[in-house]
Structure 1
């Protein structure tokens, strides 16, 4: 009670010390200490709330609404000041970042947003995506996941956009129909385990449901064989007495006159022979004199003077034909030297370690109407680069025979190991021609690559080979980019001059299974494929990757 001797004694001590302090140790804003009967009505919590009252306002006699209103007002003011300080700090950081960044896009004043994918591919992750502010005029140059343009392509369902969750549909021909691109060709690039193979299988099977037909140029791991068996396709394995003749050009299409057909046959057989020679020589193309002799052999095969097999050609080069065949620009000595060098090269397919696959007439017959055709090369040692290159060259010729038949079917040609194509100059030329003949041959060509930094293996950027490779990659207007190592970003930036700083930041950090779709110069969107429970065991190639 305020009238007790104890309270009077405490009050005396306070007055003597000159401090205005409540008995509980809380300071009082103003006024003197007085002993009124109202003080015991305040508890410790109420006393602490008095500090929010404006200076000069009389102290209420009890807990009242004025205190609650003052507390709410003070809380709002405190939060307002905190938000203002946070925004000021964010603006300062954004201005500093804009000064040091090479990206000319205007930064927003808000902090970075963390966007969670709707579902994970073997795990769910987070991706930091910067936010931008801009006008509608400049929106076309924003990062793909913010303002990438219209992505409502016609086609089968491939997956979901990773940031919005909206369905993503795509057909290889849909960008051209939508006016977004002028080419139906594409490329898929990504590190091992990034999810590119899962996407390709999902894409191919969904395209089959859309009425397209698929050809897998080479299946070194046997992954596509399971897919072909599951959907009633055709899987072909060559070697050990199972022959596929790369010089077999098939039947003449209807509507093609004899003169044009003869020229086509001669050209295709000449390209096939050149590709085989280049593969056997580990990428070294035939000399001009040798090429002239191969052209003469292809011409005589079309005229019926030579049997169109590698075995017959080797016998002809070593016989009367090689000694007497007149070739413009070659004298007898040069022709004899060319015959001997070509015999040493091609005889590896007839009597050497590569026999039993491509030197005779075909014993394996391709069904062009099959929904998917897989050329199984899993039986070849992955370290035998020459044999793999020869198989790729021979099978490339067989694929051209299917395409030039012009049977009215639309096909996707998928090179599962794109490096095998790019390592052979003759195959690079053949792939480039196929890309330019997409309208005539009704085909869409897709190449799978791993690290773009591996392009160094094919020579310096100014070399003729690299220029051709860069041209192929540029003609692939649909690019699906999965996680790449930082060392590959410079090659990617050279390939894509409009690659933004945000994309350079995000690509090495992409979650497994998420790919950046870049279609033409307008559409850029992060896509995660959707795979059914039935298809996943067939598509999955990670069974032993995680050790369980």
Structure 2
């Protein structure tokens, strides 16, 4: 800052300083002092206060006003200031990291974002390469929402990677498998208990909800074992047989063997809806349906879903997980059946809690989504009907997958279109490192700029073959919502999180005992 009158120093005493001369100019003027002394004077010159010199023309201001804030589109603003960047998000919610460019803290709470008008539904889609930290950010979000009072539900944990988190939160882990806990696909669970205590219109609504979910799940299981759809007649016969089995099992729960026995020895109402005159004719006409159910009882999934449930819901705990890791090495049809049953049971638990007045907001995680959808045609629609949760139920539904190519590998074009629609309905997308081609595919679902695509693609692999460095995509995510500029976030884990969220223990070297 230039000064109108330079302060007096021993070197300039008795001399009149020319206007706007700096200390260095005065000190180095010919015949005043040596260069060494000039530098010493300049280095120890008086410093102005932050509001300027208290001299004429010294720039002193008693008050410095704050800058004016202007808003405009990027097309307009960049014409005035070419270095404009997208704004960040208010740090309300679970702290998931800092903005990679502005360092501001970023919070994520789908429920808060809905109430504040940022989004219209609470669906979250998480996608990225294996090993870049998809489950890590999901666990961070689930842990934070649990602290906010959400109930954490993980139906169908194929790898068992969420069990440690549920245990640490004081929740309950149910391990499904042969010789372990069983899950009856027709078990209404807590929804059945709510039905017993309801009356009037509410009881009728719950009864229809339970029946629709039972039929949808049973049809999905039949599609899985036969790898094909059902005829209209088969669907009508199956619904009638299920109603008969439910009446006989009341007040308990029907099982798949109960439905099969009704088809082997059909009552009059089954003969009527199938237009058969004799039980022998019915068994002959419906042998495909009967054999499909028999595969559920005696086939590859024998012992898993053909008996009463030993799993019970407990909403007094903060979290619940249905651990399917005992089935991880089984065929995809076994995994798909287990995941669909788990999703349906969890949805029944949420409905029951809502109707009983013990409602809590829920965060529900569906990981390894693709394994349940690729087995047979029509499973996308059925799984969507079983698991779709809207914001009015207070559910944050997080769906996790590696790649849209997983969804493109579905059996039919109709399934692929429905899967893309399922991904697009999620208002929040969390994208980890992935190839450029994958980002191009995502462009058909969400608006991704070329700069955002390049950024996410740069996280896909290390730039060199030098080992020992941190993977560039580990802990980095792009949060997208609608047409907004994405939020590039880098997440740093605490010491306890590094241990709790670690999924690479099988590859870590064990320390040698001393």
Tell me the TM-score normalized by structure 1.
Answer: 0.69
1:512 and 2:474 aligned:
yes
CA distance in 2, matches of 1:146, 1:525: 14
Please say if 1:471 is aligned against 2:421.
yes
Distance in 2 between residues matched to 1:305 and 1:196, nearest whole Å: 43
How far apart, CA to CA, are the structure 2 residues paired with 1:403 and 1:139? 46
Corresponding residue to 1:166 among 104, 128, 146: 104
* 1:64-463 alignment, distance < 5 Å: 136-138=72-74, 147-152=85-90, 154-241=92-179, 242-249=181-188, 250-252=192-194, 254=198, 257-282=202-227, 284-304=228-248, 308-321=254-267, 325-326=270-271, 328=273, 330-331=275-276, 335-337=282-284, 339-405=286-352, 406=354, 407-423=358-374, 427-433=379-385, 437-459=389-411, 463=413
The alpha-carbon deviation at position 304 of structure 1 amounts to: 4.3
Superposition deviation, residue 454 in structure 1: 2.7
Check 1:233–1:222 CA distance in 2 against 1; reply closer, same or farther (3 A cut): same
**After superposition, where does 1:497-508 map in structure 2 within 5 Å?**
498-508=447-457
Q: What is the SS of the residue equivalent to 2:320?
A: strand
Q: What is aligned with 1:113?
A: none
Number of aligned residue pairs: give it: 414
Distance (Å, rounded) in 2 between the aligned partners of 1:533 and 1:166? 22
The Cα shift of 1:149 comes to: 4.1
* CA distance, structure 1, for counterparts of residue 146 and residue 284 of structure 2: 50
- Cα-to-partner distance string for 1:67-95 (whole Å, 9 max, x where unaligned): x99xxxxxxxxxxxxxxxxxxxxxxxxxx
Per-residue Cα deviation, 1:175-229 (whole angstroms, up to 9, x for no partner): 2112111111011000011111111111111110011111112222221111112
CA distance in 2: counterparts of 1:375 and 1:435, whole angstroms: 15
Greater Cα radius of gyration, structure 1 or 2? 1
Q: TM-score, normalization: structure 2?
A: 0.73
Segments of 5+ residues of structure 1 without an aligned counterpart are 1-62, 70-133
For residues 469-548 of structure 1, the aligned pairs below 5 Å read 469-496=419-446, 498-510=447-459, 511-522=473-484, 524-545=486-507
| Structure 2: tracts of 5 or more residues without a match | 1-28, 36-69, 460-472
SS state of the match for residue 421, structure 2?
Answer: helix
Instruction: Indicate the residue corresponding to 1:130 in structure 2.
Output: none
Given that 1:202 and 1:529 are in contact with CA atoms closer than 8 Å, whether structure 2 keeps it comes out as no
Structure 2 vs 1, CA of residues 304 and 257 (structure 1 numbering), >3 Å: closer, same or farther?
farther
User: Which residue in the other structure is 1:6 paired with?
Assistant: none
- Mapped to 2, the partners of 1:509 and 1:216 lie a distance apart of 32
CA distance in 2, matches of 1:338, 1:488: 47
Contact 2:335 2:372 in 1 (8 A): no
Query: Residue 91 of structure 2 contacts residue 105 of structure 2 at CA under 8 Å; is this kept in 1?
Result: no
**Distance in 2 between residues matched to 1:403 and 1:341, nearest whole Å:** 34
